Chain A
Amino acid sequence: MKIPCPQCGERDVSEFRYGGDATNQRPAHGTGDLKQWHDYKFVFDNPKGPHTEYWQHVYGCRQWFKLMRDTAKNEVLAGES
């Protein structure tokens, strides 16, 4: 599987780390609401098909970015630039 890094272009997946679901909105800093944080941290869908997620080019430029990937086919549907 190859992943398009917005800085470096397409690279092998082994250069990246997965950073989790990017569809849940992280509550703003200082939000005290337990329910909001709970839902952000612990409640996820596990879709088969298109999924937006975070990746970091950890053995490269270290950029974090969002990526839409088909979880069934490992096909990259949209990268962030």
Chain B
Amino acid sequence: MTAFHRIDMPSRIDRNRPITFTFDGKTVTGFAGDTLASALLANGRILLGRSFKYHRPRGLVGAGVEEPNALFTLGTKGRTEPNAISTTTELQKGIIAKSQNAWPSLSFDMMAVNQRFAPIFGAGFYYKTFMGPLKKSWMMYEPIIRKAAGLGAATPDVDTARYEMRYMFCDVLVVGSGPAGLAAAITAGRAGKRVVLAEQDFEFGGSLLSSGDAEHERWRAEQLAELAAMPDVRLLKRTTVQGLYDGNLAILSHRPENHPALMITEQLRAQNIIMATGAIERPLVFPNNDRPGVMLSSALRALLNRFSVAPKQRAVIVTNNDSAYATAFDLAESNVAVTVAEHRSTLSGDLLARAAQLGIAIFPGCGIADVIGEKQVKAVRLSGRHAVTIECDVLGMSGGWSPAVHLTSHGTFKPVYRADIAAFVPGGFAPGQFGAGAVNGTFGLLAAIAEGEHAARQSSSDNKKLKPIDLPATREDRKYTIQAVWNAAEKELEKFAFVDFQNDVTVKDIKTAHQEGYVSVEHLKRYTTLGMGTDQGKTSNINALAIMADLRSLPMSEAGTTTFRPPYAPFTVGAIAARTVASHFRPKRLSPLHDWHVKNGATFIEAGLWMRAWFYDWAGKTPEEAYIKEMELVRQNVGISDVSTLGKIDVQGKDAAEFLNRVYVNGFAKLPVGRARYGVMLNDDGVVLDDGTTTRISDTQFYMTTTTAQAGEVMSWLEFLLQVHWTDLDVQVTSLTDEWGGMAVSGPNARKALQLALPDVDLSNEGLPYMGVKDITYDGVQVRILRLSFSGELAYEVHCAADYVTALWQHMMMAAEPLGIKPYGLEALASLRIEKGHVAGADLDHRNTLDDLGLGKMAGKEKDYVGKALRFREDCQAPDRWSLVGLECMEEDKKLRGGAILFAASDEIKGHGRGYITSVTWSTELKKYIALALYDGGLKHQGEDIICAFPLKNETVKARIVSPHFVDVEGTRLHA
């Protein structure tokens, strides 16, 4: 016995285009225009899922995005999509759909035994069972419970689909294409606005699609034809407006046709947003209202009129409002025997007359006492004075309509309750936002069209005389009447009266939550899981909070709703990430020498956004092997290294010297032209911001370098000071970080190497002394030679415009080839500076003072500089601050490790210790591991042996505190 079949009546399906697909391994055929759900029902499949906790058999509840039960897993492997809503999934050839949460099969589900244990799975189950002293048992039970309770599983395979993100603008965004939305889009289009009409369905029309009225269809087609002819109107089907954000930004998820991307996420900025999102029908709450075959009355109507899927013989409709009669009448006209259980005791004459005409039996003043049948409805027992049992194939229920206020509440407005329609409506609209039609609680075709038109006229605000909308030739709207019914379950059967189908929450669970003090709607949600999951309570929330309000004797207006948050409907994470995956996760910055490094055996390492040459294969296959050889090359001969990533800032203007003198702690006012100086700058709070070398090019021009990591921060800070605070200074700053590049040539043979490349330049110690600078022209290109050293060896930095860096580098390599010059990478560069005791990014944790780094003496005593006052605040001068020290490894067979925690020899190895290692290297000079570290009290402890603990490897190593300057303390090599 199947409950539904396809009948021979015209609808929106195309019988000339059969489509086959697979459901739980069986081949099924539907038609173009079907949803997955309608095709399954047409084939007599009514059992479509098992419930979340109790594994009760479940069928379809709705016919749209509200569907809580009929969720499937689509596709296989990397293209698996769990929890796809079958009522919104357009039937397409080759769909592979699987039911969820049932083992081994839908009709014989082992886990259905959970039903027998219903009492323990009730409200607060997780809290009561696994919190407190029993917490550990969670570990044991969790995998079992997760297997038993849940929806579809995400695949561990990589998603192979392509997703896109796009950014768009429009004058008017219309959300929803029912009568109100179509009227709004047409009106805005006629006003010449750039319009976007977004519809979640794969057809435009909203409620018109399931009305079955030929005149409605004529009107719909006419409006769409006019819209399609408007050049500035974008019609987006299969598009859900997922959320609204500040400044009328809407996030749309769009499934495009004939496009390589599976989904496109659109960030749409709209001047105006007209929400014509309609309303969602509510279930009634009575015992066993979750049996397959019990569904929303509107879903029955959609199945019939849109998909030609009708109940086989008999339908019962239970309602508390007039809207369900449209379903009753349409079913009766299609030769289904219809009985109506009407909660109200009086009914308007026109409905009674029409019902009598169609042979519909109406039982007034009664609801449903119980539903008979387990895997399918067999009969219903009426409550109230009739108390009869009626055999039926399906039971349609209508508890009234809840406006889809979600988007209107994504901002600051909470929905407000209107008792006359027993529903929450928008509590207000942000500027530029409007509502039209059922979302406003305006139920009726002509009224919806009028509101849509009105909203569009308001949003268009120009006073052009717009042609009014042509109305469909239809009878006047009926007044919508409803009598609120929230809970129709007898007390003994409350545990079978479902409020939330997706999360298996019953009336009894809500009462338990109330008894145990979880009475606010937000607590109710967390305690019972009501309104969670993929449907976010679209059918359940209002009934639940009404039942809670009743238990608390509160009026609905005071009970309030839970907070509506984006997304409106399930949204694939891949579509949010779009192309920002794998190597596109964040931008990559490449040095102008990058291609050369690639071709010449470099292995790269990420340093911030930069890809930097880490080590080269001439020196070894592993960094540990390579950097030592590269260091030896620099200490003994000459190496060349890419320093293009350094921050480079051109500082120009009459007051440039004064400006630098203020931002650096040491003096720059009297720096001679052609000389460089190492400088340190502080933040206003007296903490070290950055260090670097700045060169005076002329009286009014300086060339500043910053660390790679802080380049952006320093630039922004200089701009802040100049634009906001020191507007009287005549200074301009320009970033050259990307425009210029550079290389360091370092080692005892550096001068020889450079001389081979630039034979006409005077590189003698007198011609270019330590910290001297020369701008030269080589082969028509401006080249800046700075005699600076990061390694402690004789060294030069050679900078020029980025476009010429590779040519200059290659020239240098070729010219100095007889000396044996080779490139060295970031690892060796860093190790050389550790030996020299130069601090770098790793050692600066944005909490260091000048004194912590042993640089206190640099600061000018007389002059003023940024951070001077707060540098001397009490905590910056505390005696026990973590300060820079050098460490030497005292155990030959062990190594020091970056991040190791430091303890005094007598300390217990426990807690955060007295400091930590910031940088570590093997010293080719000292033939031992050395490190820079921050240590409580710093060099006051020089000479002490301490413990370096590395708990991750369960390791402790002895080290001695020494000066951080390990190599060439006098600097004779620098000045050579």
Comparing B92-100, B606-614, B722-730, B841-849, the segment that makes contact with chain A is B722-730
A41→B726 contact, CB < 8 A: no
B720 — which chain A residues lie within 8 A by C-beta? 19, 54, 56, 64
Known: A29-B726, A37-B684. Contact between A74 and B246, CB under 8 A? yes
Interface assignment of B412: CB less than 8 Å from any CB of chain A: yes
Instruction: Return B528 CB to nearest CB of chain A, in Å.
Output: 31
Scan A12-44; emit 1 where CB is below 8 A from any B CB, else 0: 010001010000001101111110111011100
B719→A64 contact, CB < 8 A: yes
Instruction: Return B719 CB to nearest CB of chain A, in Å.
Output: 6
Instruction: Please provide the chain A residues from 29 to 72 with a CB less than 8 Å away from any CB of chain B in the complex.
Output: 29-34, 36-38, 40-42, 54, 56, 58, 62-64, 72
Interface assignment of B870: CB less than 8 Å from any CB of chain A: yes
Instruction: Return A4 CB to nearest CB of chain B, in Å.
Output: 11
Instruction: Return B913 CB to nearest CB of chain A, in Å.
Output: 28
Known: A17-B716, A56-B720, A58-B716. Contact between A37 and B726, CB under 8 A? no
B246→A37 contact, CB < 8 A: no
B246→A34 contact, CB < 8 A: no
B735 to chain A: closest residue by CB: A62
Instruction: Return B907 CB to nearest CB of chain A, in Å.
Output: 33
Known: A54-B724, A56-B716, A63-B723. Contact between A31 and B662, CB under 8 A? no
Instruction: Please provide the chain B residues from 804 to 858 with a CB less than 8 Å away from any CB of chain A in the complex.
Output: none
Instruction: Return A52 CB to nearest CB of chain B, in Å.
Output: 13
Interface assignment of B322: CB less than 8 Å from any CB of chain A: no
Interface assignment of B685: CB less than 8 Å from any CB of chain A: yes
B684 — which chain A residues lie within 8 A by C-beta? 26, 37, 40-41
B869→A34 contact, CB < 8 A: yes
A34→B247 contact, CB < 8 A: no
Interface assignment of B125: CB less than 8 Å from any CB of chain A: no
Known: A2-B247, A73-B412, A74-B246. Contact between A31 and B716, CB under 8 A? no
Instruction: Please provide the chain B residues from 707 to 753 with a CB less than 8 Å away from any CB of chain A in the complex.
Output: 716, 719-720, 723-726
B719 — which chain A residues lie within 8 A by C-beta? 56, 62, 64
Instruction: Return B161 CB to nearest CB of chain A, in Å.
Output: 26
Category for how many chain A residues contact B: 20 to 34
A34 to B870, CA, bound (A): 6
A8 to B684, CA, bound (A): 29
Most-contacted residue by chain A among B662, B720, B866 (CB, 10 A): B720
B247 — which chain A residues lie within 8 A by C-beta? 1-2, 74
B269 — which chain A residues lie within 8 A by C-beta? 2
Instruction: Return A26 CB to nearest CB of chain B, in Å.
Output: 6
A31 to chain B: closest residue by CB: B869
A37→B869 contact, CB < 8 A: yes
A33→B662 contact, CB < 8 A: no
Instruction: Return B574 CB to nearest CB of chain A, in Å.
Output: 21
A42 — which chain B residues lie within 8 A by C-beta? 685
A29→B662 contact, CB < 8 A: yes
A36 to B873, CA, bound (A): 12
Instruction: Return B174 CB to nearest CB of chain A, in Å.
Output: 21
A56 to B269, CA, bound (A): 22
The 8 Å CB contact of A41, one of B246, B716, B868, B870, is B870
Instruction: Return A75 CB to nearest CB of chain B, in Å.
Output: 8
The 8 Å CB contact of B725, one of A1, A2, A26, A58, is A26
The 8 Å CB contact of B723, one of A2, A38, A64, is A64
A64 to B726, CA, bound (A): 13
B869→A64 contact, CB < 8 A: no
B873 to chain A: closest residue by CB: A34
The 8 Å CB contact of B870, one of A17, A26, A38, A54, is A38
A48 to B412, CA, bound (A): 14
The 8 Å CB contact of B864, one of A26, A29, A54, A58, is A29
Instruction: Return A59 CB to nearest CB of chain B, in Å.
Output: 11
Interface assignment of B872: CB less than 8 Å from any CB of chain A: yes
B866 — which chain A residues lie within 8 A by C-beta? 29
Instruction: Return B669 CB to nearest CB of chain A, in Å.
Output: 14
A26 to B709, CA, bound (A): 27
Instruction: Return B43 CB to nearest CB of chain A, in Å.
Output: 49
A31 to B864, CA, bound (A): 8
A41 — which chain B residues lie within 8 A by C-beta? 684-685, 870
Instruction: Return B190 CB to nearest CB of chain A, in Å.
Output: 27
A33 — which chain B residues lie within 8 A by C-beta? 869
Instruction: Return B583 CB to nearest CB of chain A, in Å.
Output: 21
Scan B242-276; emit 1 where CB is below 8 A from any A CB, else 0: 00011101000000000000000000010000000
A30→B723 contact, CB < 8 A: no
A64→B246 contact, CB < 8 A: no
A13 to B719, CA, bound (A): 19
A19 to B725, CA, bound (A): 13
B716 — which chain A residues lie within 8 A by C-beta? 17, 56, 58, 62
B874 to chain A: closest residue by CB: A34
A56 to B684, CA, bound (A): 18
B866 to chain A: closest residue by CB: A29
B722 to chain A: closest residue by CB: A64
A3 to chain B: closest residue by CB: B247
B872 — which chain A residues lie within 8 A by C-beta? 34
A36 to B247, CA, bound (A): 38
B725 — which chain A residues lie within 8 A by C-beta? 26, 29
A77 to B269, CA, bound (A): 19
Known: A40-B684, A41-B684, A56-B720. Contact between A1 and B873, CB under 8 A? no
A56 to chain B: closest residue by CB: B716
A36 to B868, CA, bound (A): 13
A63 — which chain B residues lie within 8 A by C-beta? 723
B873 — which chain A residues lie within 8 A by C-beta? 34, 38
Q: 21 A-B Cβ contacts within 8 A?
A: A1-B246, A1-B247, A1-B249, A2-B247, A2-B269, A13-B246, A27-B869, A29-B725, A29-B726, A29-B866, A31-B869, A32-B868, A34-B872, A38-B873, A40-B684, A41-B870, A58-B716, A64-B720, A64-B724, A73-B411, A75-B246
Report the 6 A-B pairs with minimum CB-CB distance, sorted nearest first: A1-B246, A30-B864, A74-B246, A37-B869, A2-B247, A64-B723
12 new A-B contacts, CB < 8 A, other than A30-B864, A54-B724, are: A2-B247, A2-B269, A26-B725, A31-B869, A36-B869, A37-B869, A37-B870, A56-B716, A63-B723, A72-B412, A73-B246, A74-B246
